Structure 1
Amino acid sequence: MTQTSYPDTAPPAAEIESILRGQNRDPFRVLGMRQDEGGPLTVNVFAPDAAEVTVCDRTGAAVADLDRIDAQGFFHAVIPGRTGPFAYRLKLRNAVGHEWEAIDPYAFGPWLGEMDEYLLGEGRHEELYLKLGAHTVTHEGVEGTAFAVWAPNARRVSVVGHFNAWDGRRHAMRRRGATGVWEIFLPGIGRGEVYKYEIVGAYGHLQPLKADPVGFRAELPPQTASVVHGMLRHEWTDDGWFKAQDRDQREQPISIYEVHPGSWRRGDGNTMLSYEAMGSELISYATEMGFTHVEFLPIGEHPFSGSWGYQPVGLFAPTSRFGTPEEFAAMVDRLHNAGIGVIVDWVPAHFPEDPHGLGQFDGTALYEHADPRQGFHQDWNTLIYNFGRREVANFLRASATYWLKELHVDALRVDAVASMLYLDYSRKEGEWIPNRYGGRENIDAIDFLKGVNETVRSYAPHSLTIAEESTAWPGVSRPVSEGGLGFDFKWNMGWMHDTLEYMRQDPIHRKYHHHEMTFGLHYAFSENFVLPLSHDEVVHGKGSMLNKMPGDRWQKFANLRAYYGFMWGHPGKKLLFMGSEFGQEREWNHDQSLDWHLLDDPMHDGVRKLVRDLNKLYRTQPGLHQRDCEPEGFAWIEGGDTDNNVFSFVRYGKAGTRPVVAVCNMSPVPHDSYTIGVPQAGSWRESLNSDSAEYGGSGVGNLGGLQASDESTHGFPASLSLTLPPLATIFLVPES
């Protein structure tokens, strides 16, 4: 039964009761060693599982026994013979005689400094992960973990875990003034401890236990707690890689292999690969295939595997499904040392409602908007960040910086940018709130995206950002200083939709859709584009890339090979989702491995060999990549041959490099003596033919050398007479 009277030297009864009930907003004012002006030196300890508590000095010598002045475990004592506070330990014994020692968390001063407090309050702590989260540190000479979390409207925040029996009364945190950040240092807590935050919300209600928003590691799903890990411990060896990246990436070959790590390959028993195994196999495969980059679907921690990572709760934690943060870092390091860049999908557009996540974090709409017209995504049943709140924008910017600076990721592909830019995105009239000028543009999101791109330039100068933006928003990949959003590249969703629509047509009808292949050149240089054939095109009933193609089996493969040839010849960096490079037949299923056995079929292996050789051609011919983002890098030879379903164009690099001519015959009829104009007379050669027998084609082509006459054709000074194979793309280069 709770006592109602306490020693005169003890805190007031109301203060003690608030500790016992977990309702005290400032436990550091009550607990620990203290000495009020003119008063005695006292110690107050809350230890509900102890029957006896003794204060010892740091040598272990007993100084004073505490009185248990409340049956629930509140202990108090006056320390005799001491004139001021000193470093102390606690020796505790329970009712059955078990003894243990502990250092009192309430004996320590703050972990956060005044500058941290200022920057966090201003929303300008661009590396806030250095202070927020759980950090294994030595604080005031003692090893332990410093916890810090932002919850400005909470009445109480506590760290809970196995170490305190998940009792939120035991380790209530210190609030740092107006910043709304709570912190505590727990001595003796190290890496591997599982923890969450227990929060009494703004209205006095106990929230569901929350994972750490800045947690660096999480339990293996479906468990949802954070794991004490601290900052990354990895000795990087990729300095040479980053020095080599100090150049204009628009002029470099970028061919991206998009990977869902959980289903790229699986081991025996359908088990997922570890980061270590994935790295080894990806290095071997991507190197053989000639891809310059691997792009992972979102790899931040996420509770639901079926979201493919696009509903994250851990914006600073590589998912534990495949290993530790160090193992993720080692994979990145190894890929870099193999000459392969790493891109990670990053999702700032929305987050899930899972109770352990960010939703209603402190009992209020903290990270999200309170009004569902602003704060709820109807398409994905997720919450939308309040980009106008400076602390939220700071949190997200710091996440981007963390992946790029600390985990050495080369680029972030930013998901669902269009949904961020428009307040009425996927909403009907009356379901959205206009901006302060009455418009549909999300001004806060626009400022946020610019801020992300400017911030990562400062903290990770090597980095790139790539926008998945599906509208005609101007200047997505233009610098902020020039009025743009500041991304380096933008996915060309229009090109993808138009060209796939053309390829779906039976060749007899393609002449009526010719413009769908040529229209992209009207705007090809308005942005720095990536041409994406991504995961979104092979799910939800859309079928595989192979099965989008018309015709019989041979024609399907031929169409796919011809299309890939067109894509690799077209201006823009390249992206291909895993499995598409060998003509996977079924739709992608995130729960099982790709159908690697298909490579035993020469037709499937032929597609793989073609993609391999397209990458090699793309990388070795500057004309195919140096001016991907400049209109001077492209010229139509003949873009209007609708009757024959033929497209021909030339690609140029910088001065002194060879032009490359691409000719695409999208009809099943071969063409003999087909004449095109070319930039120069003399010897030319066919450097790649998608109809080669090696790729599963018919073997029709231009064997041996080709001689361009000086007869002007199509506005070019010379001309070539060619044999065009059916449903095929050929590439031609001059011999000198």
Structure 2
Amino acid sequence: MTKLPAEAYAILEGRHSDPFHYLGLHNEGDQKVVRAFLPEASNVEAIGEHGETAPLKRIHESGLFAGSLPNGSTRYQLRARFGENVVELDDPYRFPPVLSDFDLHLLGEGTHMRIYDKLGAHPMTLEGVDGIAFVVLAPNAKGVSVVGDFNYWNRRRHPMRVRGIGYWELFIPHAKAGDHYKFDIIEPNGQHLPLKSDPFAFAAEVRPKTASIVFDEMKLPRPRPAPSDINALGAPVSIYEVHLGSWRRQGSNEWLTYRELAERLPAYVKDLGFTHVEFMPVSEHPFDGSWGYQPTGMFAPTSRFGSPEDFAALIDAFHREGIAVWLDWVPGHFPDDPHGLGHFDGTALYEHANPLQGRHLDWGTLIYNYGRTEVVNFLVSNALFWLDRYAIDGLRVDAVASMLYLDYSRPAGEWIPNRHGGRENLEAIGFLRRFNTELFGHFPEATTAAEESTAWPQVSRPVEHGGLGFGYKWNMGWMHDTLKYIGKDPIHRKFHHGDILFGLHYAFSENFILPLSHDEVVHGKRSILGRMPGDDWQRFANLRAYYSFMFGHPGKKLMFMGCEFGQEREWDHDHSLDWHLLEQPKHAGIQNLVRDLNHLYRSVPALHEMDCSQAGFEWVITHDSGGNVFAWIRKGLDAHARCLVVVNFSPNVYYDYRVRVPFAGRWKEVFNSDSAHYGGSNVGNIGGVHTREGAIPELNLTVPPLAAIFLVPED
């Protein structure tokens, strides 16, 4: 064998950062020399553009071949023998670069907002040849190769070249959509890492398999849009939170597919009157028990329930019914599975290197390094991806508090202060502001919601005014206080009257969503119904009163699946909801109540138009701690748009209960949670009541036990 240059051995060992410099077509003197690396090939010849052939000599036993191109040719193919098979193939190392110089410029400064159009695996045609362009970020790698179905998972076949600040790329002719693939990465010390899935893959294998799958995103049908202004502050926003894998199962405890869900779930959500649905995370994830909150494939809807086209069909089905779709989005952390983002190029690329910054103690996961330009670009573009490709209407951002505080759930001395010596994660704050600015800038009809459990100021206020820029914030304080109150026996509630009143002191400091989420029905907390005290009748009456209180309270609404019919047991992600309970009138009554509350919330402007404004609320009764009664007025934009809400959290009936109202005349009782239709005792005001004679309009009401009534002025 001829003595080879050093870079030939770099090719053979898979550590050449620019294999195009050696492989492919090169002018050497007056000859055009072709070099090809085809392990397992016994002989290779070059085919000129006019069909003429020339043999290539094996110059290394590992499969390195070289020879002159037939005279006059500027393009070529290769013909290679593998055992008994002879195949003609296009040489990947004769094609031009995939990324343009402008792409590299935008990627370098972190302003490529459609990075998903460039990184990952993309079907394309180069010089008349169909294939797949692969691009991956691995700035500290010594070498990167693509392995997959197209090269029999041989890591030596397709080494990539590096460009810019560490973007490895290669166009592989005749690779196609549907091919499985991963990246073989050599870390700085020369060792091969476990094969890595593509961070930008649009599809993946069903767990426990972890290969990425080439998907032709140009074939993805974009769902129709949701109704305009559906996310507006003045719109009714009532959200049904769903875990797709356990909403309903079939057969031998099998998941419904995206297509099967599309046939059932949107119609159910519409029937119950919800305006929005929120999916718990759908990004690909390896462990069912994480519920999607430990994703490894941020750009791929989980393959558990079908293909990307199937997921798009589910979104379209919701939009066809006029229902907006939000996704639970997880930019706070990721798991350390060896095929994922952790230690991606042999270094802490996506995460912090220091475990005091880079690892969550509670969850055993890795924390993104928000101070790194490429990481912020990755996450922001991922947020835009879901809205761009799938017409998603909003993103609920998980665990924002864990991102904002450097000492989140950390003992003293086990966290690193910021440059000012404080506990605030300045880089995460910058990322969240950038995320919201870009999202609302590109998709002004969309929105975002923060699960932020502390008193961090201005979460849902504009970035230009010093806020984080979210559209909404989950009101975790309201949820904790009110569930604590409703869990008390009514005889003790008078000592906890302030738990109901306190929330109104800050109710308009943010654009709040009132969440009864999945987190409140797991880990020994019991179901919402399971928290209710008393005998069976009182438990259901308490639940009806609590839900009615929620829908009368300022703020948008969110209810986890199963809560709408009074699920008895805690939620279990491995099993369907207990739909058989609807055969019992008391559970069917809860479902009827939620359906009517949603209709009331949507149809009465006073209950939603000023949800997030102090001007839309006025207390009427706050002092009746002994009677466990609260009353307030909700206001709409029109001067006559008013709704009186009276809630009785005691089991007593109150007759001739005097309540002040803003207008004289007849007030119509438009809702009563004690109706027999819901399982109640049918105590009420027989459709309405007139104000008493006097200078100040007042109503003498019959207030039913453990119930809420809503009254509006008649025209």
- The TM-score range, normalised by the shorter chain, is over 0.9
Q: Is 1:449 the equivalent of 2:425?
A: no
Q: Cα offset for 1:79?
A: 2.4
Output the CA distance in 2 between the equivalents of 1:392 and 1:28.
Answer: 28
Q: Which residue of 1 aligns with 2:102?
A: 115
Q: Cα offset for 1:32?
A: 0.9
Equivalent AA in structure 2 for residue 328 of structure 1: F
Q: Which residue of 2 aligns with 1:40?
A: 31
Q: Cα offset for 1:21?
A: 2.0
Aligned partner (choices 662, 666, 670) of residue 683 of structure 1 = 666
Change (3 A) 1:502 1:337: same
Q: Cα offset for 1:80?
A: 4.3
Q: Which residue of 2 aligns with 1:303?
A: 286
Q: Which residue of 2 aligns with 1:199?
A: 185
Residue 589 of structure 1 aligns to a residue in which SS?
coil
Q: Is 1:94 the equivalent of 2:94?
A: no
Equivalent AA in structure 1 for residue 88 of structure 2: E
Equivalent AA in structure 2 for residue 187 of structure 1: P
Change (3 A) 1:94 1:62: farther
Q: Is 1:230 the equivalent of 2:220?
A: no
In the superposition, the TM-score normalised over structure 2's length comes to 0.98
Q: Which residue of 1 aligns with 2:546?
A: 563
Equivalent AA in structure 1 for residue 90 of structure 2: I
Aligned partner (choices 40, 56, 59) of residue 69 of structure 1 = 59
CA contact (8 A) 1:149 1:182 kept: yes
Residue 652 of structure 2 aligns to a residue in which SS?
coil
Within-5 A mapping of 1:234-273: 234-236=220-222, 238-239=224-225, 241=226, 244-246=227-229, 249-273=232-256
Within-5 A mapping of 1:325-474: 325-474=308-457
Residue 382 of structure 1 aligns to a residue in which SS?
coil
Aligned partner (choices 565, 570, 580) of residue 563 of structure 2 = 580
Change (3 A) 1:33 1:250: same
Output the CA distance in 1 between the equivalents of 2:640 and 2:448.
Answer: 29
CA contact (8 A) 2:23 2:35 kept: yes
Aligned partner (choices 688, 691, 695) of residue 708 of structure 1 = 691
Change (3 A) 1:569 1:58: farther
When structure 1 is superposed on structure 2, of 584-593 and 50-59 the one drifting more is 50-59
Q: Which residue of 1 aligns with 2:698?
A: 719
Q: Which residue of 2 aligns with 1:9?
A: none
Equivalent AA in structure 2 for residue 180 of structure 1: G
Q: Cα offset for 1:16?
A: 2.3
Is there any run of 5+ residues in structure 2 with no aligned partner, and where? none
Q: Cα offset for 1:462?
A: 1.7
Q: Deviations over 1:495-526 (max 9, x none)?
A: 00000000010000000000001100000000
When structure 1 is superposed on structure 2, of 619-628 and 40-49 the one drifting more is 40-49
Aligned partner (choices 123, 138, 161) of residue 125 of structure 2 = 138
Q: Deviations over 1:644-681 (max 9, x none)?
A: 00000110000245201110000011111111001111
Q: Deviations over 1:116-168 (max 9, x none)?
A: 00011111111100100100111222111000010000010111012212121
CA contact (8 A) 1:405 1:459 kept: no
Q: Cα offset for 1:33?
A: 1.1
When structure 1 is superposed on structure 2, of 330-339 and 191-200 the one drifting more is 330-339
Q: Deviations over 1:59-93 (max 9, x none)?
A: 5x1321111122221111022423xx622111111
Output the CA distance in 2 between the equivalents of 1:710 and 1:28.
Answer: 93
Equivalent AA in structure 2 for residue 70 of structure 1: H
Q: Cα offset for 1:25?
A: 2.3
Q: Deviations over 1:213-266 (max 9, x none)?
A: 011111111110100003252344625x3xx42477000000000000000001
Q: Is 1:153 the equivalent of 2:156?
A: no
CA contact (8 A) 2:474 2:513 kept: yes
Output the CA distance in 1 between the equivalents of 2:357 and 2:256.
Answer: 39
Output the CA distance in 1 between the equivalents of 2:231 and 2:362.
Answer: 37
CA contact (8 A) 2:222 2:390 kept: no
Output the CA distance in 2 between the equivalents of 1:562 and 1:591.
Answer: 31
Output the CA distance in 2 between the equivalents of 1:201 and 1:39.
Answer: 39
Output the CA distance in 1 between the equivalents of 2:70 and 2:125.
Answer: 30
CA contact (8 A) 1:623 1:657 kept: no
Q: Cα offset for 1:379?
A: 0.8
Q: Deviations over 1:310-350 (max 9, x none)?
A: 00011111000111111111111121111000000000000
When structure 1 is superposed on structure 2, of 725-734 and 530-539 the one drifting more is 725-734
Output the CA distance in 2 between the equivalents of 1:663 and 1:644.
Answer: 12
Residue 575 of structure 2 aligns to a residue in which SS?
coil
Q: Cα offset for 1:458?
A: 2.1
Q: Which residue of 2 aligns with 1:53?
A: 44
Q: Deviations over 1:682-708 (max 9, x none)?
A: 111111111111101111111133111
In the superposition, the TM-score normalised over structure 1's length comes to 0.96
Output the CA distance in 2 between the equivalents of 1:306 and 1:237.
Answer: 30
CA contact (8 A) 2:200 2:299 kept: yes
Q: Which residue of 2 aligns with 1:732?
A: 711
Output the CA distance in 1 between the equivalents of 2:463 and 2:358.
Answer: 26
Equivalent AA in structure 2 for residue 120 of structure 1: L
Equivalent AA in structure 2 for residue 126 of structure 1: M
Aligned partner (choices 7, 15, 40) of residue 15 of structure 1 = 7
Within-5 A mapping of 1:597-676: 597-676=580-659
CA contact (8 A) 2:223 2:315 kept: no
Is there any run of 5+ residues in structure 1 with no aligned partner, and where? 7-11
Aligned partner (choices 183, 191, 196) of residue 169 of structure 2 = 183
Q: What is the identity percentage for the equivalent residue pairs of Structure 1 and Structure 2?
A: 56
CA contact (8 A) 2:14 2:145 kept: no
CA contact (8 A) 1:582 1:608 kept: yes
CA contact (8 A) 2:473 2:513 kept: yes
Change (3 A) 1:142 1:657: farther
Q: Is 1:507 the equivalent of 2:498?
A: no
Output the CA distance in 1 between the equivalents of 2:229 and 2:529.
Answer: 38
Q: Cα offset for 1:277?
A: 1.1
Q: Cα offset for 1:576?
A: 0.1
CA contact (8 A) 1:255 1:291 kept: yes
Within-5 A mapping of 1:484-503: 484-503=467-486
Output the CA distance in 2 between the equivalents of 1:334 and 1:710.
Answer: 53
Q: Deviations over 1:256-310 (max 9, x none)?
A: 0000000000111111011111122111101110000000000000000100000
Residue 433 of structure 2 aligns to a residue in which SS?
helix
Equivalent AA in structure 2 for residue 362 of structure 1: D
CA contact (8 A) 2:202 2:215 kept: yes
Aligned partner (choices 17, 31, 34) of residue 25 of structure 1 = 17
CA contact (8 A) 2:220 2:308 kept: no
Change (3 A) 1:248 1:588: closer
Output the CA distance in 2 between the equivalents of 1:522 and 1:673.
Answer: 30
Moved beyond 4 Å, runs of 4+: none
Within-5 A mapping of 1:587-602: 587-602=570-585
CA contact (8 A) 1:255 1:615 kept: yes
Q: Cα offset for 1:579?
A: 0.1
Supply the RMSD in Å over aligned alpha carbons: 1.2
Equivalent AA in structure 2 for residue 629 of structure 1: C
Equivalent AA in structure 2 for residue 722 of structure 1: L
CA contact (8 A) 2:223 2:312 kept: no
Equivalent AA in structure 1 for residue 65 of structure 2: F
Equivalent AA in structure 1 for residue 96 of structure 2: G
Equivalent AA in structure 1 for residue 593 of structure 2: L
CA contact (8 A) 2:396 2:448 kept: yes
